[in-house]
Amino acid sequence: VEAVVIGGPASNGIDNEIAKKLNLKREKLEHKIFPDGESYIRYPIELEGKQVIIVQSLYPPQDKHLVELLLALDAAKDLGAAKVIAVVPYLAYSRQDRRFRGGEAVSIKTVLKALRSAGADALITVDVHKEESLNYFEGSSINVLPLRELVAYFEDKLSEPLVIAPDKGAVRRAREAANILNCPYDYLEKSRNRITGEVSLSLKGVDVRNRDVLIVDDIISTGGTMALASRRLRELGARRVFAACTHALLRRGALKKLVNAGVHEVVATNTVPSEISKVSVASAIAEALRKLISV
């Protein structure tokens, strides 16, 4: 069955790279915004009977990019696509994955239900905040972890490396990165003084003194989490602190905050465009796609 890669307005070049790697045809969705702000999309080719791979990331403006994706998915189905695969490198709303306070929307559930009902038969995303969230998607899904690619960027720069997760939730990433680098890993444990309310970060198992530390996390948004971790690791005696993340949202002067917190270098993947998005996730996604495309 013929497969074609379709680049949405927020594909950040990943569509083109994937198509090249898989030796598939690539087309861009036609796209414009009406004077009142509504989105318009159109497929420039016939989709009848084809496997359609739609690449659209959900970086800011998330809501606009989400609506564009929904329009594209539904239209692909209408136009007779045999199978529709949504490739969503940055899956927005993934941090609101449960009701932290009564009455809240479980946003990721809503987004995944919407993608499915619009027409996504399968979903590929990159480093979703919590992998279990993908259970809300009632189709096949693959979460690509781009650690091999991120770590490769740093490999030659680190001496006596150590990988640290900025919190317990991120420890799986740290473990995988450490396995690749063949070095130890740990996570920063947050504790709060019940009297003063002060938050402190501590390490349990490893000594960071005179080591190059690589902090890995899924998202850098305001940079607060990474900055705090970097400060603490420097206090504990780390030689240099490097930071790697998958999704560089970089809001409110995040990069400056990281520099001020002593981060030597920070790098991200290209799921979200930014000045530090230097590592491509295209190969990792192409590999996952091979499992979903039928030949």
Beta-carbon neighbour count of residue 44 at 10 Å? 9
Spatial distance between the Cα atoms of 15 and 114, rounded to a whole number of angstroms: 22
Among 217, 263, 268, 277, binds ligand R5P (CB under 6 A): 217
Name which of residues 76 to 95 contact ligand R5P (CB under 6 A): 95
Q: Which is nearer to ligand R5P, 148 or 168 (CB)?
A: 168
Spatial distance between the Cα atoms of 53 and 43, rounded to a whole number of angstroms: 12
Angle subtended by helix axes 171-181 and 147-154, to nearest 10:
50
Tell me: does residue 221 bind ligand R5P (CB under 6 A): yes
Amino acid at 146: P
Which two three-digit tokens encode residue 78?
């209408």
Q: Rounded to the nearest whole angstrom, what is the least distance from the CB of residue 202 to ligand R5P in the complex? A: 17
Q: Rounded to the nearest whole angstrom, what is the least distance from the CB of residue 166 to ligand R5P in the complex? A: 6
Name which of residues 3 to 42 contact ligand R5P (CB under 6 A): none
Tell me: does residue 143 bind ligand R5P (CB under 6 A): no
Site string for ligand R5P, 252-271 (x = CB under 6 A): --------------------
Query: Looking at 190, 204, 257, 291, which residue is catalytic?
Result: 190
Q: Under a CB-based contact definition with an 8 Å cutoff, are residues 137 and 115 in contact?
A: yes
Of 250, 286, 241, 253, the closest CA to residue 268 belongs to: 250
Q: Rounded to the nearest whole angstrom, what is the least distance from the CB of residue 258 to ligand R5P in the complex? A: 9
Tell me: does residue 60 bind ligand R5P (CB under 6 A): no
Strand 39-42 to 30-33 pairing:
antiparallel
Is 190 catalytic? The answer is yes
Which two three-digit tokens encode residue 63?
């809501």
Spatial distance between the Cα atoms of 268 and 272, rounded to a whole number of angstroms: 9
Name which of residues 168 to 187 contact ligand R5P (CB under 6 A): 169-170
Among 6, 41, 88, 220, binds ligand R5P (CB under 6 A): 220
Catalytic residue list: 190
Where do contacts with ligand R5P occur on this chain (CB under 6 A)?
95, 166, 169-170, 217-225
